[in-house]
Amino acid sequence: MHYSMAAGVTATTATGLWTKEAAAQPKKGGNFRWGLHDGNTSDTHDPGTYVTRQMIFLAHTHRSYLTMINGDGSLGPDLADSWSASDDASEWTFELTKNATFHSGKKLTADDVIASLNHHRGDKTTSAAKALLTDVTDITKDGDYTVKVALKGGNADFPWLMTDYHMAICPANDDGTIDWKSGDGTGPYKIDSGEFGVQWKLSRHEGWHREGAYFDTVEILVLNDPNARQTALVTGDVHSVSLVELKTMALLQRDKNIVIDNVPSAAAITMPMFCDTAPFDNVDVRNAMKLAMNRDEIIEKITFGAATKANDFHLSPAQPYWPDDIPQREYDPDQAKSLLKKAGAEGLKVNLSTADSVYAGAVDMAVLYAEHAKAAGITVNVVREPNDGYYSDVWLVKPFTLVSWGARPTPDVMFTLAYKDDAAWNESHWKNPRFNELLLQAKGELDDTLRAEMYREMCMLMRDDGGTIIPFFNNFVYAHRSNVGVPDQLAASWECDGARAASRWWFNS
């Protein structure tokens, strides 16, 4: 599969390279009821605080972004009609649509975009997206509908960063800040009423500047309890739910009124080993640990087939630049034994920390891996950690853990977050000079062929030298009622068609 890459000089050239079959014709009308998992009463409209599915999915329904990820995984236009880069990709120019209006009636201009991006910049910002914009040196306008962004160095992925869920565009205040509290936006639906952690009622924004927004109204209901979500779907109280429990997937599939959406994604389960801590400071030990896993059995018994087999590099077929020619690492306990003997680590014993909250079946998965490792002479002691505080007290603290990662749009974003030598989230403490050299080169390379070669070499380094076992990329598994029409291709960036079910779906009866 091929994708249109981040360089996307214009919205036209940024459309995908896939051949797309004709989708069923959408119809307008009706009230779409959408049951979401992961919502709190403490959530807010501040884009810098977005973290739960409630905030992210609501944002994609009532607000807009400069760019968006299409159903085929390519980069497409939202508030920006087109974008272009300087020769070294250190300056990006976004040409804004002149057709966008806020729900309050105000026309969108460059001032709103500049204020919204600056919300995530500067020493005083509390935004979780601050790290994504650290290389930005200046944001200026050239008239009301052109925004220019200057960077410290080249970044061919910059238009992709604008799809990050924090980068929602809000109306600017006179002092250069943004008005996020009102919930005003330029998205396909405007908020009529709502309460965080409970529900939201929205209606079509007649000033929506793109295709879609087929439903007349949308109701978002926060249903954190999986049994409540499933019951609401089965009874027809909601038309879609954002998460299906894998153990009930087969049962739901028997209901002719329900369609399961099982979408391969770039979300991943990782098992980082501290490369600066014995015994994982020996590359032969690290590779033995990778060879001691039967990924096929884990996918069959833990994910019920709802996953894509991984190869110990953090780049999936659902992302651009995926190197499909790298040989798949298979279960080979004999080779693992040989590597351990070479490392003088025969009879290896290690602790593996995990928790139920990491992934459905995470503890069972760790236990199954421990069974696989026995054949290689490795004893894996599974430590069941408390759910509460796992990501503050266990992840990045203990030397061998099981972790769940969300999808990232491009390899540069993922590699920079978790594999760059000085990254705060370098969960395996891996430091490879060649990898970091290539990471910097690839970031500013606008030639897709050369960039793909760099990412392939980086993937090989991660696979053969890195400290992270990656068993699989987990699918997004959600569901909708059979009377709901969906496009032929569902975006793999988030559940529910990239969090845009409300604007991309319709009723077919």
CA dihedral 223, 360, 496, 244 (to 10 degrees): -60
Q: How far is CA 367 from CA 277, 374, 428, in A?
A: 23, 11, 21
Amino acid, res. 48 = G
Rounded to the nearest 10 degrees, the angle between the axes of helix 333-343 and helix 362-374 is: 70
Structure-token match 């030990």, residue found: 285
Q: Per-residue pLDDT for 18 more than 80?
A: no
Which residues sit opposite 507 in a β-bridge? Answer: 484
The reported pLDDT for the residue numbered 12 is: 31
Backbone angles phi, psi at 227, to 5 degrees: -65, -40
Q: Pick the more confident residue, 126 or 345.
A: 345
Which residues sit opposite 353 in a β-bridge? Answer: 383, 401
DSSP assignment of 418-466 = HTSTT-TT-TT----HHHHHHHHHHHT---HHHHHHHHHHHHHHHHHH-
Q: What is the rounded CA–CA span in Å between residue 252 and residue 258?
A: 7
DSSP assignment of 81-99 = EEEEE-TTSSEEEEEE-SS
Q: Per-residue pLDDT for 316 more than 70?
A: yes
Q: What is the rounded CA–CA span in Å between residue 2 and residue 69?
A: 15
For 396-429, the three-class secondary structure string (H helix, E strand, C coil) is CCCCEECEEECCCCCHHHHHHHHCCCCCCCCCCC
Q: What is the rounded CA–CA span in Å between residue 369 and residue 146?
A: 53
In this predicted model, what pLDDT tens digit does every residue of 177-229 receive, in sequence order? Answer: 999 999 999 999 999 999 999 999 999 999 999 999 999 999 999 998 888 99
- Tokens representing 138 are 């200046």
- Tokens representing 383 are 């430590």
The DSSP bridge pattern shows strands 268-272 and 403-405 to be antiparallel
In this predicted model, what pLDDT tens digit does every residue of 382-441 receive, in sequence order? Answer: 999 988 778 889 999 999 999 988 888 899 989 988 999 988 789 999 999 999 999 999
Q: What is the rounded CA–CA span in Å between residue 476 and residue 493?
A: 9
Q: Per-residue pLDDT for 147 more than 70?
A: yes
DSSP 3-state of 386: coil
Q: How high does pLDDT run on average in the chain? A: 92
Q: What is the rounded CA–CA span in Å between residue 453 and residue 269?
A: 25
Asked if 489 and 497 count as a contact pair (C-beta separation under 8 A), the reply is no
429-462 burial code (b ≥16 CB/10 A, e <16): bbebeebbebbeebbbbbebeebbbbbbebbbbb
In this predicted model, what pLDDT tens digit does every residue of 248-289 receive, in sequence order? Answer: 898 999 999 999 999 999 999 999 999 999 999 999 999 999
Q: Per-residue pLDDT for 58 more than 50?
A: yes
DSSP 3-state of 307: strand
Rounded to the nearest 10 degrees, the angle between the axes of helix 411-418 and helix 448-465 is: 40
Structure-token match 């266990």, residue found: 394
- Tokens representing 442 are 């690839």
Q: Per-residue pLDDT for 15 more than 70?
A: no
Mean pLDDT within 335-359: 95
| Nearest one of 455, 365, 349 to 402, comparing CA atoms | 365
Quote the pTM value.
0.82
The reported pLDDT for the residue numbered 73 is: 87
Backbone angles phi, psi at 242, to 5 degrees: -85, -10
Asked if 309 and 317 count as a contact pair (C-beta separation under 8 A), the reply is no
Q: What is the rounded CA–CA span in Å between residue 380 and residue 369?
A: 8
Which residues sit opposite 477 in a β-bridge? Answer: 262
Distance of CA 117 to the CA centre of its chain: 20
